Each structure stands twice: as structure tokens, then as C-alpha cells.
Amino acid sequence: MTRQRAQKPKRTMSVRAHAALALAPVLNQRGALTSDVPEGVAPRDQGLYRALCFGVCRALPQLEAIAEKLLKSAFKQRDQDVHALLLIGLYQLYHMRIPTHAAVGETAGGARELNKEWATRVINGCLRRADRERDALLAAVEETPSAAHWHPQWLLTRLEQAWPDQWHDITAANNVPGPMTLRVNQRHHSRADWLERLEGAGLAARPCPFSDDGLTLETPCDVEQLPGFQDGDVSVQDEAAQLAAHLLLDGLDARPAPLRLLDACSAPGGKSAHLLECAPASMLTALDSDATRLERVRETLARLKLSGTLVAADATTADWWDGTPFDGILLDAPCSGTGVIRRHPDIKALRREEDIDELVALQSDLLDAQWQRLAPGGRLLYATCSVLPEENAGQITAFLARTADARAVAITADWGQPEGEGRQMMPTPDGHDGFFYALLEKHAD
């Protein structure tokens, strides 16, 4: 899924109009949200801008169901910015502590800023009715599972089928923002020492239960407030993602140094950096098909004063490879992102059911291709941020069935749950994201 920058208006606009312009491509399935804030949004409004954009996407199925009951007819595709304003107003009325007069009046006024004066009366009337009939509207839409659980129906159905005893917990975790979790660079400081430094800066945090490098902040903050961030002392990374480096490296300690490592789908670079922090003598190749996103890997490694070989190429091909096999390969495969919806709630609008089969086919191709780059006795760690079995345990079962020289290495851990030949983590409120890991070893000749 390509994540584009929000459209940058050329004229002065309110925060609600800016948010509508950012949401319109999402509603049209033509672009995704980013954490970037347009230049025209005043610093005092940046928190509100993010809250509106991400909040609307998070509650989208419910808000869309309410909007459908309020409108006589749907807005035309060219007016999705107006539709976004209506959803922004509904989100404020139902899910934010914003005075009704501001939620209604300032949101309706945003249509004028978008040069769509005609829409001010429509939005004003819909929002006033939504406020008057709040209880009845909510009761009516929550009879529909999609609106009640804030997930598209196709995904809700798949989750219920795959996890009949857990789907309620999964959807509930998806519907709240994830915590801000940090990875301490223990080449610079121990976790305990850096935690003391963090507390000295007035920021409270707690150690992660499963990652020895991780800390979770009690309250998210700007990275510039983190002591030593620009010096590479710490990085932002979810706890589940922090497990990858140790899972791969712990089984390679008997191989001669320097290890040759490949991060096959490396952007934005957090796992590449963690591999080098844990095994600084390694020779790491960071591969990604998107040259623009690969620049983020370069920036990440530069901030941490780490070095690797960056290659922009299609990981399913061999054009980029020099023929020397790798000791360890991390394949953090493109996936549905169903384990990180809380961080990327626009997935609810952008992901389609037909995408899943396409992603499963791509993951299969990537597994087969990277297996050819792995040295005998080497290990490949397969990872996704998905909770769908066909991308995870089912994918590994199929790979092992067609690959004679592959064997699964059991992952013994106190996190997640065993699923097939791997281990599945579910998104957890105030804890880790949803992730799947499977560790594979290549038979030596």
C-alpha cells in the first residue's frame, strides 16, 4: 500500500478543512494517511488534525453507517472532501470532547473554505440532526456488526472464522491507538540506565515484558523530547517488531563471522537497524523495491551511526544478487496489516478482500526467491504484521510442503501462541501489535 503525503492546500484553511483534504483520497481509495501534518496547520492545531484524521478512519464503519441515514443521497466522488467533512463532524460529536457549536459550525464552515458553499447547509443540517437524534442513530447502526465493531464486514467475517474465541478482543484492540514503544540501543546504554535518564527528563515508561530492549511510554511524546534520540540512543519500534532481530540471530551464533544478513523487505529500516545493533560486525544488505522508502532506511541507519548495503530492487528477482548466499534472512513480508490497524486505521478503508489472495501469492513468491539466497545451515525468519492464518501459518505449511531442504525451527517463547509451525501474537491494548513469526532452517548438504 503506497503511503502518499496529504494534499497541500495553497490557501489558508482551518484544521478541519485540512483534515478533509487528507481524508478524501482515503475515502476514494487513492491514497493513505501519513503522520505528516500540512504546513498550513498551526502548531496548536496539529494534535487536533491528527486526532480528526486517524479518529475518523478508526471509527469509519460506524460513521459511514450514520452518514448514510442522514443523507438523502450519497455525495459524488468529486465531493469526497465534503463527505469527509461530514464524517469529521460526526466524529467530533460522538467521540470527542468538543463543544457542539464548534463541531457543527466550524465543520460546516469548512465547506466554504473548500470552495463548496452549497455544502455548508447540508453539513450543518446533518450534524444538527445527528446531535438531536444521537441515541436513536447509534442504536440503529449498531444493529449492523460492521458498524458495531468498527470493521469492514469482509474482515469481520474472516476474523470471526479464524479466531472464534478471540475476534472480539482483536477488534477491540484494533479500535484504540497503540502505545508509543521504544527500543533502547544497548550498544550505547543499558535499558535500566536509559530508563533512569528518561525519567530524569520527566517522561514515565515501563519495561516491555517480552523484549529486553523495549520500553513503553506512559504518554506518547515527540521524538525530539527523547534523551539522545538524535545520537542514536533510542528508536521508536513496537515490541512485537523488536523480537525479530533476536529470533534470527540467536540461532546463527555458531556460524563464522562476519555474518552475511539480508533484510529482504527492509523499509522503513527499524529491523535492519536492530539487527546491526545486536550484531555490529555483520554485513547487512537492506533490500526494498521502493527506492523512496529505502531513503528512510538510509536516514535511520545514519541517525544510529550504522552502515549497510542498501539496494532498491524487486526481492522476487535475482538481478541484484551477487551470488554469495546469506547466513540469515529476515523476510518481513508485505501483508494485510491486520495486526497493526490501530496504528494505520486507514486500512479499514483501503484494504479490500480481494487483496488477500494477491498478498498470499506475493508472500509465496518472496519465500521461494529468498530461500535460493540462503546458505546451507542458514536461517530465514518469516514475519508479518497480520493476524490472518492464510498469510501466516497456512503460508508456512504450504512452503514446507513444497521445499524439501527446509525445516521449521520451534520458537519457544512466553509471548503469543503456537500456530502451525510458527507463533502468532494478537494486538494487545497498551501492549504489542499483532505479529506472526516462523523460523526456517536450510538443511546443510
Active site residues: 385
Q: DSSP label at 410? A: P
Length of the chain: 445
Q: How far is CA 341 from CA 5, 88, 150, in A?
A: 19, 19, 11
What residue has cell string 499483532? 434
Q: Are 364 and 237 in contact (CB under 8 A)?
A: no
Spatial distance between the Cα atoms of 384 and 16, rounded to a whole number of angstroms? 35
Q: How far is CA 423 from CA 133, 224, 291, in A?
A: 46, 35, 31
Q: Are 433 and 178 in contact (CB under 8 A)?
A: yes
What residue has cell string 525445516? 407
Query: β-strands 374-384, 326-332: how paired?
Result: parallel
Spatial distance between the Cα atoms of 15 and 96, rounded to a whole number of angstroms? 15
CA geometry: angle at 355 spanning 354 and 357, to 5°?
Answer: 75
The angle that helices 46-58 and 80-95 make with each other, rounded to 10 degrees, is: 90
Secondary structure of residue 24 in the 3-state scheme: helix
Spatial distance between the Cα atoms of 360 and 248, rounded to a whole number of angstroms? 23
Beta strands in 191-258 (DSSP E): 205-207, 214-217, 234-236
- The terminus-to-terminus CA distance of the chain in angstroms comes to 39
Other C-beta atoms closer than 10 Å to the C-beta of 405 total: 12
Q: Which helix (H) or strand (E) holds 417?
A: strand 417-419
Secondary structure of residue 381 in the 3-state scheme: strand
Q: Are 391 and 384 in contact (CB under 8 A)?
A: yes
Q: Are 283 and 256 in contact (CB under 8 A)?
A: no
Q: Are 289 and 196 in contact (CB under 8 A)?
A: no
Q: Are 88 and 57 in contact (CB under 8 A)?
A: no
Instruction: Show the 3-state SS of 340-368.
Output: CCCCCCCHHHHCCHHHHHHHHHHHHHHHH
